[in-house]
A and B are shown apart, each in its own frame.
Chain A
Amino acid sequence: MKFKTQKIAYWFFAAAMLLLVLQIIYGFIMGFARIGMDGLHEWIPFNTARATHTNLLVFWLLLGFMGSAYFIIPEESDRELMWPWLAWIQLISFLLVGVVALIGYHVNWWEGRKFLEIPRPLDYLVVVNVLAFLANIGSTVWYGKRYTTTSIVLYFGLLTAALLYLPGMIDFDNQTLDSFYRWWVVHLWVEGVWELIMGALLCYLLIKLTGVDRELVEKWLYIIVGLTFLSGILGTGHHYYYIGAPRYWLMVGGIFSALEPLAFLGMAIYALAMAKKGGRRHPNKTALNWTLGSAIMSFVGAGFLGFAHTLPQVNMWTHGTLVTAMHGHLAFWGAYAMIVLAMIAYCLPVMTGRKLWDNAPSGAAFWLSNIGMVGMTGALAVAGITQVNLERRMGLDFLSVQKEIEVHFIGMLLAACLFLLGILFFLWNFWRFGLPNDEAVHSDVRAAERDAPTPEPLPAS
C-alpha cells in the first residue's frame, strides 16, 4: 500500500461482508418458504425476503466497487485520496440509506419494481451519495500525477452506472414503458457498465498478480469493454421481446445478446493468457484464484447460461421461470461477487501487512463457496427446466407444478449450506487479518514478495 487514505477501502469491504451474510440469510428464508416452511410469512412474506435479498446483493456489490475504487484510484493516480473525510461520510450515509430501505421493505414501504424497490425519496439520497463518491474519486484522478487506462475505465464505469440509475426514476402509467426503462438500469448495468468496472478490477489485479506488462493488459481491456458495448447495448432487446414493445426487438435483441458471451469469453481467455504469460507468481495465490475464478465463472454464469435462454424462440418458454433465477445466481456470483472477493483477497494483506494468504481457510472458502454455488445453480436448473416443460409446454397449473419441483429446493438448500460454509471461512480469514494500519504503508507486499518461492523483480508500475 502506498497511501494512507487507501485504508478507507477496508471499511467498505467490511460493511460489504456484513451485508453479504444478511443477503444469504434472506436467501435461506426464501428457500425454506419454497419447501413449505413459511412460518415467517406474517412478518417476512416472500416479497419482502426477495426484495431484501436482491437489494442487499446490489448494495454490497456497490460497496465492494466503491471500496475497490478508493483503493485503486489513489495508487493509480499516485496521490492521496482528495477528501478522505468525505469518503467516511459517504460510507456512513450510504449504509444509513440502505438500512432505512431494508426496514421499509418490512413495513410495505417500497416501489415494487424488481431490483429497484428502493422508495423514491431514498432514490434521491442515493443519487447525492453517489455524486459525492464520484466527485471524490474524480478529483483524485484529475489532480493525480498520472492517468492510467485502468483508472479511466474504472471511473467511466462508475460514472455511467450512476447516470444510468436516473432513467429508472421516470414515472409512467404504462407498464410497458415502465419496464422498458427499468431495463436501462438493470440490464445496462450488469451487461454494460458494470462489466467496465469488472474489467478494470480484473486488469488491476492481473497487473499486480501476474506482473504482465501494463501496456498489453490495458490494450486488451479496451477490446473487451468494446465488445461489451458492441453487443450489450442493443442486447437490451432480449428483455423487450414479450413486454409489449415492437416486434423488431426479437431480431435486434436476439442477434446482439447472442454476441454478449463473446465479451465474457474474451475476459476469461484474457485473464488465463495473462496469468500464463506473466510468469511471475505472486505469493498471494488465493487472490489469483479468485481473479481467474471470476473470469471463468462469469463466462459460465453470464455468458453460457445467459446464452442458453436469450434467443426469442427459447425465451418464449423460459421467460419468467426459475431458469431465469438459475442464470441470475451464477452470473452475479461469477462476474461481480467473485471479483469483489478477489479485490478483498488481494487488498487485505496489503492493507494490514499480514501475509495470511495461502492457508487452509482461504482455500476452503474458495472451493466450498464455488462448489456450493454451482450446486445451487444445478438445482435451480433442474427445477426450472421441469417447470418450463410441465407448466409452459404441457399447460399444467402453476401451483401443482411448484409442488412437483419442491424437492429440488431441498437440493438447493443443501448446496446453499456448502456455499454458506465457504463464505464463513472467507469471513473468518477476513477477521484474522485484523485492521489496516499505517505500518503497512510502503512496507506491504513488496517485503512479502521477497519471501516468495520464486522472487522476480516487479515491473515498474
Chain B
Amino acid sequence: MLTKFQARAFFLGGTAVFTGIFLILTIDTHRQVPEQTNDSSITPQVAAGKKLWEQNNCMGCHTLFGEGAYYAPELTKVVDRRGRDWIKVFMKDPEAMFPGQRKMVKYEFTDQEIGEVIAFLEWCGKVDLNGFPAEPPLKKLMQPDTGTMASASGELPASVAATVALPPMFEQKSCTGCHRILGKGTPGVMLPNAVTGEVVPAPALDLVHQRKTREELIAWISDPQKVKPGSPMPKLTPALVSPQEVEQMVDFLLSLKAHTPTN
C-alpha cells in the first residue's frame, strides 16, 4: 500500500502537472477567442452595453451564453428572435407589453443606452458558441401541416406564398416573431393568456380575413389588451408601429382574400 510520503507526492505531482496543462490551454484559449468571438467588432457601444448589462445585474434573472439565472429567457439570440425595434419598445416598459406576466424591472434607460444594450446582445448573438443553443430537435414534429391541408392550419398553400410577396414590415416589426404569415415566421409559438392562464398558439394570419373585419383588425393590432384582456400579444403601437402602418398591414392581410381558394 502507499506510504504517506507517496500519497503526498501523488497530490503534489498531480496538481503540478494538471495546473501546467490548464495554463497551457488557457494561453491557447486566449489565442483563439478573438477570432471565435469577433473580438474586433467589440465597438465602444458594445462595451458600454456590457457595462450596463453588469451594472444592472441582468444575469440575476436571465441567462446569457446559458449562464445566469433561470427566471427569465435566455438572451444570446434575442436580437435574431425579436428584432431590434421590438426590444426597444419592450425595454421602455416591459409590463405594458406583457401585462400580468412575470415582471421585469422597468429601467429608466435613455434611447442611447438601450441602443448600447442591444448592440451588446447583438454581438453576443454572433459569437460562435460551438452550437449552443441547439435547434430544438422535436420542434418539427409539432409544426402544423402546410401541405394540402393548409387551410386547416389557417395558412394558404405554399403556391400562394411563392407568388405573393410579404411586405417587409411584417418581419421588421416582429409580427413573424410569433405568427406565421405566407410561410414566413415561427409556426405555433405557444403563449399564455395572463387572465385565463390558457396557453394558445399565436395563429397563422393568412386567413384572418375570414375571421375578422377591417375595423376589428385595426382595433386589435392597436391595442390587443383592450379587446381581449390578458392576451399575450404585445401592444406595438404607437412606439413600433404607427397608425398608418397598422392600416397598411390590415389592408394587406385583407388583400389575401383574393388568393384564397374557394371550395
Give me the interface of A with B, judged by CB distance under 8 Å.
30, 33-34, 36, 38, 41, 45-48, 50-51, 105, 108, 110-114, 117, 149, 173-180, 215, 218-220, 222-223, 225-226, 229-230, 233-234, 236-237, 240-250, 252, 316-317, 319-322, 324-325, 387, 391-400, 402-404
Chain B's closest residue to A316 (CB) is B134
**Residues in chain B near residue A41, CB distance under 8 A:** 103
The answer to whether B105 and A174 touch across the interface, beta carbons within 8 angstroms, is no
Minimum CB–CB distance from A5 to chain B (whole Å) comes to: 29
**Residues in chain B near residue A237, CB distance under 8 A:** 25
The answer to whether B37 and A244 touch across the interface, beta carbons within 8 angstroms, is yes
**Residues in chain B near residue A392, CB distance under 8 A:** 133-134, 136
* Known contacts A50-B60, A226-B10; is-contact A233 B137 (Cβ 8 Å): no
**Residues in chain B near residue A38, CB distance under 8 A:** 102-103
Among the 9-residue stretches B68-76, B109-117, B147-155, B210-218, the one with 4 or more Cβ atoms under 8 Å from chain A is B68-76
The answer to whether B3 and A222 touch across the interface, beta carbons within 8 angstroms, is no
**Residues in chain A near residue B129, CB distance under 8 A:** 242-244
Q: What DSSP secondary structure best describes chain A's contact surface?
A: helix
* Known contacts A175-B65, A176-B33, A215-B4; is-contact A51 B57 (Cβ 8 Å): yes
The answer to whether B32 and A395 touch across the interface, beta carbons within 8 angstroms, is no
Q: List 8 A-B contacts (CB under 8 A).
A: A46-B72, A110-B57, A173-B47, A174-B33, A177-B33, A219-B2, A243-B66, A394-B138
**Residues in chain A near residue B238, CB distance under 8 A:** none
The answer to whether A226 and B54 touch across the interface, beta carbons within 8 angstroms, is no
**Residues in chain A near residue B36, CB distance under 8 A:** 176, 244-246
**Residues in chain A near residue B133, CB distance under 8 A:** 242, 392
Q: Would you call B21 an interface residue if the criterion is a C-beta within 8 Å of the partner chain's C-beta atoms?
A: yes
The residue from A242, A247, A402, A403 contacting B197, defined by CB atoms under 8 A apart: A403
CA distance A219 to B4 in the complex (A): 5
Q: Would you call B130 an interface residue if the criterion is a C-beta within 8 Å of the partner chain's C-beta atoms?
A: yes
**Residues in chain B near residue A399, CB distance under 8 A:** 73, 98, 101-102, 191-192
CA distance A41 to B61 in the complex (A): 12
Chain B's closest residue to A246 (CB) is B32
Among the 9-residue stretches B12-20, B161-169, B222-230, B244-252, the one with 4 or more Cβ atoms under 8 Å from chain A is B12-20
Q: Would you call B262 an interface residue if the criterion is a C-beta within 8 Å of the partner chain's C-beta atoms?
A: no
The answer to whether A179 and B67 touch across the interface, beta carbons within 8 angstroms, is yes
The residue from B120, B131, B190 contacting A397, defined by CB atoms under 8 A apart: B190
The answer to whether A48 and B46 touch across the interface, beta carbons within 8 angstroms, is no
Chain A's closest residue to B43 (CB) is A173
**Residues in chain A near residue B39, CB distance under 8 A:** 174
**Residues in chain A near residue B73, CB distance under 8 A:** 398-399
Chain A's closest residue to B65 (CB) is A243
* Known contacts A51-B60, A393-B137, A400-B190; is-contact A252 B102 (Cβ 8 Å): no
CA distance A219 to B103 in the complex (A): 54
CA distance A387 to B127 in the complex (A): 25
Q: Considering the complex of A and B, which 7 residue pairs feature the smallest CB-CB distances, nearest first?
A: A47-B60, A395-B136, A320-B66, A242-B132, A395-B139, A112-B57, A112-B54
The answer to whether B138 and A34 touch across the interface, beta carbons within 8 angstroms, is no
**Residues in chain B near residue A112, CB distance under 8 A:** 53-60
The residue from B7, B11, B59, B136 contacting A229, defined by CB atoms under 8 A apart: B11
The number of chain B residues with a CB under 8 A from chain A is 77
**Residues in chain A near residue B33, CB distance under 8 A:** 174, 176-177, 180, 244-246
Q: Would you call B29 an interface residue if the criterion is a C-beta within 8 Å of the partner chain's C-beta atoms?
A: yes
Chain B's closest residue to A182 (CB) is B67
CA distance A222 to B3 in the complex (A): 11
CA distance A394 to B105 in the complex (A): 29
The answer to whether A241 and B53 touch across the interface, beta carbons within 8 angstroms, is no
The answer to whether B54 and A45 touch across the interface, beta carbons within 8 angstroms, is no
Q: Would you call B8 an interface residue if the criterion is a C-beta within 8 Å of the partner chain's C-beta atoms?
A: yes
Q: Would you call B142 an interface residue if the criterion is a C-beta within 8 Å of the partner chain's C-beta atoms?
A: yes
The answer to whether B65 and A394 touch across the interface, beta carbons within 8 angstroms, is no
**Residues in chain B near residue A51, CB distance under 8 A:** 57, 60
**Residues in chain A near residue B32, CB distance under 8 A:** 245-246
The answer to whether B70 and A46 touch across the interface, beta carbons within 8 angstroms, is no
The answer to whether A230 and B136 touch across the interface, beta carbons within 8 angstroms, is no
The answer to whether B138 and A114 touch across the interface, beta carbons within 8 angstroms, is no
The residue from A114, A218, A248, A400 contacting B59, defined by CB atoms under 8 A apart: A114
CA distance A322 to B192 in the complex (A): 20
**Residues in chain B near residue A316, CB distance under 8 A:** 131-132, 134
CA distance A203 to B142 in the complex (A): 55
**Residues in chain A near residue B30, CB distance under 8 A:** 177
**Residues in chain B near residue A215, CB distance under 8 A:** 4
* Known contacts A38-B102, A243-B129, A320-B66; is-contact A173 B46 (Cβ 8 Å): yes
* Known contacts A114-B68, A242-B129, A398-B74; is-contact A236 B54 (Cβ 8 Å): no
* Known contacts A112-B54, A175-B50, A392-B134; is-contact A226 B14 (Cβ 8 Å): yes
Minimum CB–CB distance from A171 to chain B (whole Å) comes to: 10
Chain B's closest residue to A322 (CB) is B70
The residue from A117, A226, A245 contacting B7, defined by CB atoms under 8 A apart: A226
Chain A's closest residue to B28 (CB) is A246
The answer to whether B65 and A179 touch across the interface, beta carbons within 8 angstroms, is yes
The answer to whether B69 and A46 touch across the interface, beta carbons within 8 angstroms, is yes
**Residues in chain B near residue A249, CB distance under 8 A:** 25, 29
Chain B's closest residue to A51 (CB) is B60
CA distance A290 to B190 in the complex (A): 47
The answer to whether A402 and B102 touch across the interface, beta carbons within 8 angstroms, is yes
Minimum CB–CB distance from B21 to chain A (whole Å) comes to: 6
CA distance A402 to B194 in the complex (A): 13
The answer to whether A47 and B69 touch across the interface, beta carbons within 8 angstroms, is yes
Chain A's closest residue to B54 (CB) is A112
The answer to whether B138 and A222 touch across the interface, beta carbons within 8 angstroms, is no
CA distance A380 to B189 in the complex (A): 25
Minimum CB–CB distance from A441 to chain B (whole Å) comes to: 31
The answer to whether B61 and A320 touch across the interface, beta carbons within 8 angstroms, is no
CA distance A404 to B199 in the complex (A): 9
Chain A's closest residue to B53 (CB) is A112
The answer to whether B65 and A223 touch across the interface, beta carbons within 8 angstroms, is no
Q: Would you call B219 an interface residue if the criterion is a C-beta within 8 Å of the partner chain's C-beta atoms?
A: no
